[in-house]
Amino acid sequence: MTKLIIGLGNPDQEYQNTRHNVGFMFLDYLAKKIDANDFAEDKKSNALISKSKIEKTPVILVKPLCFVNKSGEVVSKLAKFYKIKPADIIVVQDDLDIEFGSFKNSFEKNSGGHKGVESIIKALKTNKFYRLRIGTSIRALEKAREQSNKKRDVFVMDFVLAKFSPKEQDAVKKMFPDIYERLLQIL
């Protein structure tokens, strides 16, 4: 059974190595780890795609070329085209509710306020898909949550679109082998 693995992120160069693009970062790691083909643009789905196998499981790695909050359009098109059920979809995302340096997987959960995940749930008309949620939360976020909605929303947007420091980037990359092991359990 083919699995669709979607890394969430924003496509423009300015967003590389930002917290919101940790899904893209993991997919780059994964493609290298499993010796997948280079990502190629698929104009019909508006995504960069690489096909490969993880052990014996066929996988399609996907980096949508739309902004995170429109990811559902891409996921829906690809799921229909390849006839992939929601339960065979794995979304790799940043998560503000998980402490930086940690990660969780989940199945059949709500979006937790993540606009990209909301978009996917809406497009698939279900939340019965897997998610690998990579923690990006820091203490400053806790303080921001106590502020007015407007101030909080501005802080959160600036935070998720900010680049990881070199030290944070190293910490994230050190998590990838453990996230890969968790992915194997889901497959």
Active site members: 20
DSSP-derived secondary structure for the chain: --EEEEE----SGGGTTBGGGHHHHHHHHHHHHTTPPPPEEETTTTEEEEEEEETTEEEEEEEESS-GGGHHHHHHHHHHHHT--GGGEEEEEEEEEEETT-EEEEES---TT-HHHHHHHHHHT---SEEEEEEEE-HHHHHHHTS-HHHHHHHHHHHHTSBPPHHHHHHHHHHHHHHHHHHHHH-
The three-state DSSP-derived secondary structure of 37-59 is: CCCEEECCCCEEEEEEEECCEEE
C-alpha–C-alpha distance, residues 147 and 18, integer Å = 23
